[in-house]
Amino acid sequence: MQKKLIVSMSPHIHTPRTVSGTMWNVVVALLPALAVALWTFGLPALTVTAVSIATCLLTEWAIDRLLFRRACTLSDGSAMVTALLLAFNLPSILPWWMVVIGGIVAIGIGKMSFGGLGCNIWNPALVGRVFLLISFPAAMTTWPEGVGSGMLPISGASADASSGATLLASLNSGQATAGSVDLMDLAVGQMNGSLGEVGSIAILLGLAYMLIMRIVSWHIPVAVLGSAALFSWALGGNPLLDLLAGGLMLGACFMATDYATSPMTRTGQIIYGVMIGVITIIIRRFGAYPEGVSFAILLMNSFTPLINRYCRPAIFGAAERRKTA
């Protein structure tokens, strides 16, 4: 009796990369920023993060098992990424039940209602954040006073405005001026804001890790940050301040680069990134909200299918064919 052989179509070898490996690597890339958040905001940051993780994972599990009646998809790590990113987009003193609502909306509506991983049109964590921002505008813009848990006393504008406003809000309302800001403090996380907004250097560290592991390419982050800086400068602002304050760094490195909601070609990714940068600055300068990154990313997420339609790769030899035809 001859041995039975397995038959399949080529190729017969495969990259060692997997979806879950990729997602868990993103989680690793988020850890430095999480550490900075804990250092800056202390225990409340941990509570928000833990509640967000618990809600997101539980929501995905429940929808998988009870609604879709399929195998649980938690092990692919994408719910964990969404949970961390949602927490990074919330103030540390947000009531826990609001975090729960955010988590349910992010996973339930932002992701699972479209069919789950890879099918969503908008970044799930941002769907959760914007839902909360519109539903609970006051709570979502109330920040801890003085950010007392930090080992260093907070300096710069936000400390002067002891109401605990974010730097961008203070700048917007004229309570602070660009001149009174210590950019170094912004870079290492000594400022007020959502959990993940504060540690620019930690975020860049995470980006560097993702670039080295080839999880993301440089195109989107560079396009977002470059265009925001350039546009800010063109409007007479301080580009560095716009880069370091608020959620731009987090958005450019971790939210705009989300695979499912960003374009498929390099050209498309650059157009998408540039537009996010420009829209962010427009909202910051002219909009009612002091912060515009989430809206900019969600807006451009909506344009991604259109960008994919018009920014196709050039087929090998197509130009030569037109020449000869």
Tell me the per-residue interface mask from 4 to 33 with another protein, x by CB under 8 A, - otherwise. -xxxxxxxxxxx-xxx-xx-----------
Rounded least distance, CB 269 to another protein, Å = 8
Q: At closest approach, how far in Å is the CB of 316 from another protein?
A: 5
> Contacting another protein (CB under 8 A), which of 3, 174, 179, 212?
3
When binding is defined by CB under 8 A, the residue of 56, 80, 81, 117 that contacts another protein is 117
User: Cβ distance 233 to 277 under 8 Å?
Assistant: no
Q: Which of residues 283-312 bind another protein (CB under 8 A)?
A: 312
Residue from 259, 282, 285, 289 that binds another protein (CB under 8 A)? 259
Is residue 318 part of the contact set for another protein (CB under 8 A)?
yes
Residue 124 contacts another protein per CB under 8 A: no
Within 187-226, the residues that bind another protein by CB under 8 A are none
Residue 231 CB contacts under 8 Å (≥ 6 apart), including other chains: 277, 278, 281, 282
Q: Which of 265, 282, 287, 289 binds another protein (CB under 8 A)?
A: 265
* Shortest CB 121 distance to another protein, Å: 11
Contact status: 119 vs another protein (CB under 8 A): yes
Q: Of residues 66, 138, 288, 315, which one binds another protein by CB under 8 A?
A: 315
Among 28, 31, 260, 299, binds another protein (CB under 8 A): 260
As a three-state string, the secondary structure of the chain is CCCCCCCCCCCCCCCCCCHHHHHHHHHHHHHHHHHHHHHHHCHHHHHHHHHHHHHHHHHHHHHHHHHHCCCCCHHHCHHHHHHHHHHHCCCCCCCHHHHHHHHHHHHHHHHHHHCCCCCCCCCHHHHHHHHHHHHCHHHHCCCCCCCCCCCCCCCCHHHHCCCCCCHHHHHHHCCCCHHHCCHHHHHHCCCCCCHHHCCHHHHHHHHHHHHHCCCCCCHHHHHHHHHHHHHHHHCCCCHHHHHHCCCHHHHHHHHCCCCCCCCCCHHHHHHHHHHHHHHHHHHHHHCCCCCCHHHHHHHHHHHHHHHHHHCCCCCCCHHHHHHHC
Based on CB atoms, which residue is closest to another protein, 69 or 323? 323
Smaller CB distance to another protein: residue 177 or 217? 217
Nearer to another protein, 16 or 236 (CB): 16
Please tell me whether residue 65 binds another protein under the rule CB under 8 A.
no
Count of other CB atoms within 10 angstroms of residue 247:
27
Judged by CB under 8 A, the stretch of 101-109, 128-136, 222-230, 314-322 that binds another protein is 314-322
Site membership for another protein, residue 321 (CB under 8 A): yes
| Residue numbers at the binding site for another protein (CB under 8 A) | 2-3, 5-15, 17-19, 21-22, 76, 78, 115-119, 259-260, 262-265, 312-321, 323-324
